[in-house]
Amino acid sequence: MGLITKIAWRNIQRHKGKSLVIGSILFLGAFVMTIGNGVISGMDRGLQRNIVEGFTGDVVIVSDKQESDNVFLEMMGKAIEPINNYTAIKPVLQKLDYVDRFLPAGKNAVMFLSEQASNPSFTLPIGVDFEQYQKVFPNCLKPIEGRLLRPGERGVLVTTGARKEFYNFSGVWCIPESCTVNYANMDKDARADSVGLTIKDNLVFMGMGSDNATTDVRVGVKGIVRYRALELIFGHFSIIDIESFRECLGYVSAAERAVEVPQETKDLLSADESSLDAMFGSDAISTGVSSAEKTAPMPAAAPATEGQPASPKKVDVDAGAYNVIMTFFKDDVNLDKGLKRLNQDLKDAKTGARAVTWKKAFGAIGSMAVLIKAALFLFVMFLFFVAIIIIVNTLSMAALERTNEIGMMRAVGARKGFITAMFSGETAMLSFVFGGMGIVAGFLVIAAIPLFHITTDNDMLQLLYGGESFTPLLSAMDIGLAIAQLTLVTLVAMVYPAYVARSITPLDAISRD
Amino acid sequence: MNIIETKGLRKDYALGSTTVRALRGVDFAIEKGDMVSVVGPSGSGKTTLLNIIGCIDDATEGSVRISDQEVTGLTDRQITDIRLHRIGFIFQTFNLIPVLTALENVEFPLLLMKKHSKTEVRARAEKLIEEVGIKEYMKHRPAELSGGQRQRVAIARALVTNPDIVLADEPTANLDSVTGEQILELMEEMNRLEQTTFIFSTHDANVLKYAKRVVKIRDGLIVKE
């Protein structure tokens, strides 16, 4: 064993009290740092699972005309620019080898109308083809009353959060069609007010189009649902079928795109208003079609023959407008690199669309996740700082108490470097033993926590947990980070005490005698 | 040949607004192999003189030469190396490293030198431990040794590097008279065997009979030899 190591180890054993004090601080510091790193990693993973996999995807594609990246939580539900050329964007995305799956959706604010309320309120439904939604976001919605939407069906799935908002605003309690009131799920206030309560199984939404024209759409409530996690945040977003959404917002719907518009009508619609002469020339666009014909309703489906239903027109749901495309990268794709590539590919294909990260698309929540991480990190650094102060104080006192010993060493020929190495060796040894124990203890606690299934309904805690249950996680990098933090604490803490020790002269030892 | 030479040595200490003149111009020389006792009452400057000769303290003015090398004005590192290679110390309170055994304490200066193999270090240390008469206690720590035994370890440690001079400041002050006699006999024997120059400070008359030369100091000046 080297001389310094021998002296350091024996001094630790000789000064057991001080060694225990410093060791305990290092143990606690390393333990808390490891737990903190585990909580942060668990939160990251949980947010990844619940927000990314449960709601937004890795990135969200929006129109180039969209000004704000915060498309989900913009205050007052500012209108999101429509994407009218999804049929052109879809094949581009399908060809990209780094894109795993994607879901186009409508997202905008609409007003919820009720006879019971004098003023309308806003709500934020997400319009989707529900069959596609379930493929891209499997098992993210759970019906607690009624059922989920069937393929191609029109209707709305109202979240428990939205139902509560509707009740608070208008006194309307909505239930699924063909269901009775489930009083167990009813709000306390609503239950108390059950006599005067208005029960509805369909809702009227009013949207405003780009031409400021409004459209009312009545949709049947098919189910009351909960998101898998973060219900208070996601609970603002009920799920509505895409065609109802489009009609409400005055978007081009898939059904409209499916209509065969005669060429004359197309030409008329696309004619330049200034070419009045052209309208009346021999090549007139209009051929004297009567106004009744111009405003004739869409041709109805062929009448049903006896015993057979009317043949519906086949509609490509993707032909209509959307607002966002939630997109997942493949597992091995780095988010920042994937985003950069996707934006380049969208630009090269002249899609008129761009992609933003889920954090930017989710505005305040993305920022809040960063804030919570920063707060946790600051707490760990604060402990770090306190640990350094205590260790510096204890070691400095220890150095002064050993003035005779250190002074004698200097007298017989030990250089200042030897004294520094001796003191550093003692601190490093304590750090390795006790700090190492702290990291191991932290690792064991992190591994054991999921076994207790700690869950919460509180949404701030859910953000901290990264979901409903507390599942901190330690990767090799987190353990490496804890070791680096411990090393830094040790190095910083030994600077001043080592300086005190090396400043002791042989004369100090003799003078004390 | 003079192993130590001082010329016009002065040492002043500032005590608040007062200046204390511990040495007032000491001219002093010691030959190789000498056994010199520096005597004087408390506050006479004998410890200060030994500290400056031992490169533990700096002179305010004057020159100190050890083995014909000027040691005033050197860096801390150079002075430390001179202490390691040329000077041995025996303190009044022994000042052994408490966590090392007697043998390891004696090995300590040799290990600092980093010139010898572990085997050579061990062999040299064991030889000296035997010469000072505590072979059976070499694996004991200082806390397990008597005062006399600790001082023998200190003597062995002071001699292990074959220094030019050994400085002993009141080496028998904390020992009973019998043990003190034994220690002084040992130092005399080492002086004879190793031809190491010994300088010790004392105000014990019994110690003086072992010295070949006695230097009296009073009020910072050498008054008599």
Q: Which residues of B touch A509 (CB under 8 A)?
A: 91, 95
Distance between CA atoms of residues A332 and A338, nearest Å: 10
Task: Say if the Cβ atoms of A408 and B95 lie within 8 Å.
Answer: yes
Decide if pLDDT at A105 tops 90: yes
Mean pLDDT score across all residues of chain B: 89
Q: What is the pLDDT of residue A301?
A: 39
pLDDT for residue A292 is more than 50: no
pLDDT of residue A117: 62
Share above pLDDT 90 across residues of chain A, in percent, rounded to a whole number: 34
Q: What is the pLDDT of residues B125-156, one digit of tens each?
A: 999 899 888 999 999 999 999 988 999 999 89
| Stretch A492-500: mean pLDDT | 90
Structure tokens at A32: 């808390």
Give the alpha-carbon dihedral of A389, A395, A398, A400, to 10 degrees: -80
Residues A507, B56: C-beta atoms closer than 8 Å? yes
At A355 the pLDDT is: 96
Percentage of the residues of chain B whose pLDDT score is greater than 70: 99
Cβ distance of B91 and A3 shorter than 8 Å:
no
Helix (H, G, I), strand (E, B) or coil at A66: coil
Does the structure's ipTM exceed the value 0.85? yes
Q: Does A195 score more than 70 pLDDT?
A: no
Handedness of CA A360, A366, A367, A371 (dihedral sign): negative
Q: Which residues pair with A105 in a beta bridge?
A: A324
| A342-355 confidence digits (pLDDT tens) | 999 999 999 999 99
pLDDT of residue A50: 81
| Mean pLDDT (chain A, rounded) | 82
Strand ranges inside chain B, DSSP E: 2-15, 18-31, 35-39, 61-66, 69-70, 87-90, 165-169, 197-202, 213-218, 221-224
Extract the tokens encoding A78.
Answer: 């500012």
Task: Return the minimum-mean-pLDDT range out of A186-200, A275-289, A390-404, B13-27.
Answer: A275-289
Q: Give B124's pLDDT tier (boundaries 50, 70, 90).
A: very high
Least confident of A210-219, A461-470, B25-34: A461-470
Chain B interface, mutation test: which of A505, A510, A511, most B Cβ atoms within 10 Å? A510
**φ, ψ for residue A195 (rounded to 5)?**
-70, -45
Q: Token pair 């430390």 is at which residue?
A: B80
- Does the beta-carbon distance from B76 to A404 stay under 8 Å? no
A275-to-A268, A278, A286, A470 alpha-carbon distances in Å? 11, 5, 13, 68
CB-nearest to B112 from A6, A418, A513 is A418
**Residue A297 confidence class, pLDDT cut points 50, 70, 90:** very low
What per-residue confidence (pLDDT) applies to A314? 58
- Helix, strand, coil fractions of chain A, as percent rounded to 5: 55, 15, 30
Q: Which of A147-161, A182-196, A241-255 has the lowest mean pLDDT?
A: A182-196
Q: Which of B36, B42, B147, B159 is closest to B95 using CA atoms? A: B147
pLDDT over 90 at A273, yes or no: no
For residue A299, is pLDDT > 50?
no
What was the pLDDT predicted at A305?
38
pLDDT at A280 (0 to 100):
57
Higher pLDDT pick, A302 / B87:
B87
pLDDT of A192 reads 78
More confident site: A433 or A208:
A433
Task: Indicate the Cα dihedral angle A428, A430, A432, A436, nearest 10°.
Answer: -150
Give B7-10's long-range contacts (Cβ < 8 A, gap of 24+): B7/B62, B7/B63, B8/B61, B8/B62, B8/B63, B9/B49, B9/B52, B9/B59, B9/B61, B9/B62, B9/B63, B9/B64, B10/B59, B10/B60, B10/B61, B10/B62
Average pLDDT over residues A314-319: 75
Q: Which residues touch A63 (CB under 8 Å, ≥6 apart)?
A: A81, A82, A83, A323, A352, A353, A354
pLDDT tens digits along B56-80: 998 999 999 998 889 988 999 999 9
- Residue A398's pLDDT is 86
| Backbone φ, ψ for residue B145 (5° rounding) | -110, 155
Lowest mean pLDDT among A56-60, A257-261, B74-78, B107-111: A257-261
**Does A428 contact B at CB distance below 8 Å?**
no
Chain B: closest CA distance from residue A417 (Å): 10
Q: What is the pLDDT of residues A428-485, one digit of tens each?
A: 998 999 999 999 999 999 999 988 888 887 767 777 777 778 888 888 888 888 888 8
**Which residues of chain B make contact with A506, given a CB cutoff of 8 A?**
56, 83
Mean pLDDT across the stretch A48-74? 88
Beta-carbon separation of A404 and B169 below 8 A: no
The pLDDT, as a whole number, for residue A266 is: 52
Instruction: Give yes or no for residue A236 having a pLDDT over 50.
Output: yes
The domain segmentation of chain A, as residue ranges, is 3-51+366-512, 57-258+317-359
Between positions 40 and 99 of B, the ones with CB within 8 A of A are 47, 51, 54, 56-57, 76-77, 80-81, 83-85, 88-89, 91-93, 95-99
pLDDT band at A307 (very low <50, low <70, confident <90, very high): very low
Tokens representing residue B124 in the block: 């040299």
Kindly list the strands in the beta sheet with B35-39, ordered across the sheet, starting from the edge strand earlier in the chain.
Answer: B87-90, B165-169, B197-202, B35-39, B213-218, B221-224
Contact A506 B56 (CB under 8 A): yes
Q: Which CATH superfamily is domain B2-224 in?
A: P-loop containing nucleotide triphosphate hydrolases (3.40.50.300)
Rounded mean pLDDT of B10-22? 88
- Across A317-474, the runs of DSSP E, i.e. the strands, are 324-329, 353-357
Q: Which of A24, A25, A91 is nearest to A318 (CA)?
A: A91
Is the CB of residue A513 less than 8 Å away from at least one CB of chain B?
yes
Question: Which residues in chain A touch residue B51, judged by CB atoms under 8 angstroms apart?
Answer: 507, 510
- A115 by DSSP, 3-state: which? coil
Which pLDDT tens digit goes with each residue over B85-101?
Answer: 999 988 877 789 999 99
* Whether the predicted pLDDT of A508 surpasses 90: no
- Spatial distance between the Cα atoms of B64 and B6, rounded to a whole number of angstroms: 5
Backbone angles phi, psi at A484, to 5 degrees: -65, -40
Give residue A285's pLDDT band: very low, low, confident or very high (50, 70, 90).
Answer: very low
pLDDT (0 to 100) of residue B180: 82
Contact state of B93 with A507 under an 8 Å Cβ cutoff:
no
B5 pLDDT exceeds 70?
yes
User: Token pair 């400041």 is at which residue?
Assistant: B169
Please tell me the predicted confidence (pLDDT) of residue A263: 55
Q: Which DSSP string do the residues of A366-411 spell out, in sequence order?
A: HHHHHHHHHHHHHHHHHHHHHHHHHHHHHHHHHHHHTHHHHHHHHH
Give chain A's length: 513
Q: What's the CA gap between A49 and A47, in Å, rounded? A: 5
Q: Which range among A32-46, A84-98, A147-161, A262-276 shows the weakest confidence by mean pLDDT?
A: A262-276
A6 contacts on B by Cβ (under 8 Å): 100, 104
DSSP state of B145: S
Q: Which of A10, A418, A506 has its CB closest to that of B99?
A: A10
